[in-house]
Structure 1
Amino acid sequence: MLRSLAALLLLSSAAVADTADGEALKAMTWDQVVEEARGGTVNWFMWGGSDTINAYVSGYVADRLKADYDITLNRVPITDAADIVNQVLSEKEAGVTDEGSVDLIWINGENFRSMKQADLAFCGYTTLLPNDALVNWDNPAIANDFGVPVDGCEVPWNTVQFAFAHDSAVVADPPRDMASLLAWIKANPGRFTYPAPPDFTGSAFLRHVFIHAAGGPESLLGPFDQARFDAVAGKTWAILNEIEPFLWREGATYPTTVTQLDELFANGEIDFSFNYDPAQFGLAVQAGTWPETTRSFGLTDGTIGNTNYTLIPFNSPNKAAAMVVQNLLLSGEAQLEKAKAEVWGAAPAIEISRTTPEVQAGFAAIKTHPSVVPASELAKAALPELQADWLTAIEKGWTENVGN
Structure 2
Amino acid sequence: MKQKIKAALLASSLLLAPAVGLADTADGDALNSMTWDEVVDLAKGGEVNWFLWGGSDNINQYVSEYIGGRLKEEYGITLNRVGLSDTVEAVNIVLGEKESGVMDAGSVDMIWINGENFRTMKQGGLAYCGYTDILPNNAFVDWANPAIANDFGVPVEGCEVPWSKAQFAFAYDTARFDNPPRSIGELIDWVRENPGRFTYPAPPDFNGSVFVRHVFYHAAGGVDKLLGDFDQAKFDEVAAKTWDILNDMEPYLWREGKTYPASISAMEQLYANSEVDLTFNYEPSGVGLNIENGVFPPTTQGYGLSDGTIGNTNYTIIPFNSPNKAAALVLQNLLLSGEAQYQKARPDVWGAAPAIEVSRTSEAVQADFGTIVAHPNVVPADELAKAALPELQASWISAIEKGWLENVGQ
Q: 1:94 aligns with which of 92, 97, 100?
A: 100
Q: 2:129 aligns with which of 123, 126, 140?
A: 123
Q: 1:281 aligns with which of 284, 287, 290?
A: 287
How many angstroms apart in 2 are the aligned matches of 1:331 and 1:16?
Answer: 29
Matches of residues 2-21 of structure 1 in structure 2 within 5 Å?
17-21=23-27
| 2:186 matches 1:180 | yes
Letter of the structure 2 residue corresponding to residue 369 of structure 1: H
The match for 1:64 is: 70
- Whether the 8 Å contact between 1:17 and 1:320 is mirrored in structure 2 is no
Letter of the structure 1 residue corresponding to residue 35 of structure 2: T
Quote how far apart the aligned CAs of 1:371 are: 2.1
- Whether the 8 Å contact between 1:18 and 1:40 is mirrored in structure 2 is no
Letter of the structure 2 residue corresponding to residue 339 of structure 1: A
The match for 1:192 is: 198
How many angstroms apart in 2 are the aligned matches of 1:346 and 1:53?
Answer: 10
| 2:388 matches 1:382 | yes
The match for 1:52 is: 58
- Whether the 8 Å contact between 2:26 and 2:105 is mirrored in structure 1 is no
Q: 1:242 aligns with which of 248, 255, 276?
A: 248
Q: 1:203 aligns with which of 209, 215, 221?
A: 209
| 2:149 matches 1:143 | yes
How many angstroms apart in 1 are the aligned matches of 2:407 and 2:26?
Answer: 49
Letter of the structure 2 residue corresponding to residue 53 of structure 1: I
The match for 2:359 is: 353
- Whether the 8 Å contact between 1:88 and 1:313 is mirrored in structure 2 is yes
Partner of 1:402, secondary structure, is helix
- Whether the 8 Å contact between 1:110 and 1:391 is mirrored in structure 2 is yes
The match for 1:328 is: 334
Quote how far apart the aligned CAs of 1:291 are: 0.8
Q: For structure 1, list consecutive stretches of 5 or more residues without a partner in the other structure.
A: 1-14
Q: TM-score, normalising length from structure 1?
A: 0.95
| 2:87 matches 1:81 | yes
Q: Percent identity?
A: 67
- Whether the 8 Å contact between 1:17 and 1:38 is mirrored in structure 2 is no
Instruction: Provide runs of 4+ in structure 1 moved above 2 Å.
Output: 15-20
- Whether the 8 Å contact between 1:17 and 1:37 is mirrored in structure 2 is no
- Whether the 8 Å contact between 1:41 and 1:318 is mirrored in structure 2 is yes
| 2:321 matches 1:315 | yes
Letter of the structure 2 residue corresponding to residue 218 of structure 1: D
- Whether the 8 Å contact between 1:17 and 1:36 is mirrored in structure 2 is no
The match for 1:255 is: 261
Letter of the structure 2 residue corresponding to residue 221 of structure 1: L
The match for 1:229 is: 235
Q: 2:40 aligns with which of 34, 40, 46?
A: 34
Letter of the structure 1 residue corresponding to residue 351 of structure 2: G
How many angstroms apart in 2 are the aligned matches of 1:395 and 1:325?
Answer: 32
- Whether the 8 Å contact between 1:16 and 1:36 is mirrored in structure 2 is no
Partner of 2:386, secondary structure, is helix
How many angstroms apart in 2 are the aligned matches of 1:389 and 1:278?
Answer: 26
Residues 357-404 of structure 1 show CA distances to partners (whole Å, capped at 9, x for unaligned) of: 111111111001122111100000000000011011111111221112
Distance 1:20 1:85, change over 3 A: closer
Aligned length: 391
How many angstroms apart in 2 are the aligned matches of 1:238 and 1:78?
Answer: 32
Letter of the structure 2 residue corresponding to residue 170 of structure 1: R
How many angstroms apart in 1 are the aligned matches of 2:399 and 2:349?
Answer: 37
The match for 2:226 is: 220
Letter of the structure 2 residue corresponding to residue 228 of structure 1: K
Q: For structure 2, list consecutive stretches of 5 or more residues without a partner in the other structure.
A: 1-20
- Whether the 8 Å contact between 2:104 and 2:322 is mirrored in structure 1 is yes
The match for 1:343 is: 349
Letter of the structure 2 residue corresponding to residue 318 of structure 1: N
Q: TM-score, normalising length from structure 2?
A: 0.94
Quote how far apart the aligned CAs of 1:235 are: 1.0
The match for 1:401 is: 407
- Whether the 8 Å contact between 1:17 and 1:321 is mirrored in structure 2 is no
Partner of 2:83, secondary structure, is strand
- Whether the 8 Å contact between 2:116 and 2:394 is mirrored in structure 1 is yes
